[in-house]
Amino acid sequence: MSDAEEEAGLRERKKQRTRRLITDTARRLFAERGFEQVSVTEVAKAADVSAGTVFNYFPTKEDLVYSGLERFETELLQAVHDRGPGESVLAAFGRFVLTPRGLLAARDQGSAKQLLAVSHMIGSSPALLAREQQILARYTESLARLLVAETRASADDPRPAVTAAALIGVHRTLIDYVRRRILAGDHDIARLAEDTHRYGETALTHLQEGFGDYGRR
């Protein structure tokens, strides 16, 4: 490795440490006092950086909470795009979305506490709930564009948009399910992960089988 490469790597690691410090500090303050009650200036001061540095890494205050979701979006689209021969979009999406991630995958008591703090923080913040809906809408649009490209759908073909909306709807339902259970006092992460998997399987099976007769009187 050349000196230039080593220096570039050092700078990147420093940036990652600063980014992590800022997000950890912000989420701790938000969990303690509420998202709306903490300013970016207060986050910067607690992290011992300038407010300008915070905004260099995170363009909006909400990004301090939702940073990293671009990676989730990229991985989701990749999972659908890279599905094997004969595999449906539904199957590829289901395999991806039912794989435990983050705090739900850790299954330890510390993760339960963090998940409770995050769930309460988001659930009690109109700004964060609104941003969450924007993010899910972006996922839906991105997935729909991918399906249009792959199926060569015409502009008046509703199937890519309907499919994307239904699949991201499953993801949205899983988020709501986990948050509702956590806020209701269910902090057994291992059990919650298993129940969430079954809940998701039921939702995906419902889509697979179709719901033309669902709720018929």
* Domains of the chain in sequence order: 3-61 (1.10.10.60), 68-209 (1.10.357)
User: Which region, left, alpha or beta, applies to residue 186 given φ > 0 means left and ψ of -120 to 50 means alpha?
Assistant: beta
- How far CA 56 is from CA of 3, 12, 173, 202, in Å, comes to 27, 14, 33, 42
Tokens standing for 21?
Answer: 């410090």
Please enumerate in sequence order all residues whose Cβ is within 8 A of that of 194, keeping only pairs 6 or more positions apart, or say none.
Answer: none
Name which of 15, 139, 174, 12 is nearest 66 in CA terms: 139
C-beta separation of 38 from 30 below 8 A: yes
pLDDT tens by residue, the chain, 217 residues: 676 666 777 888 999 999 999 999 999 999 999 999 999 999 999 999 999 999 999 999 999 999 878 889 999 999 999 999 999 999 999 999 998 887 777 766 777 788 888 899 999 999 999 999 999 999 999 999 999 999 999 999 999 999 999 999 999 999 999 999 999 988 888 899 899 999 999 999 999 999 888 767 8
Alpha-carbon distance of 73 to 52, in angstroms, equals 27
In terms of pTM, does the model score above 0.75? yes
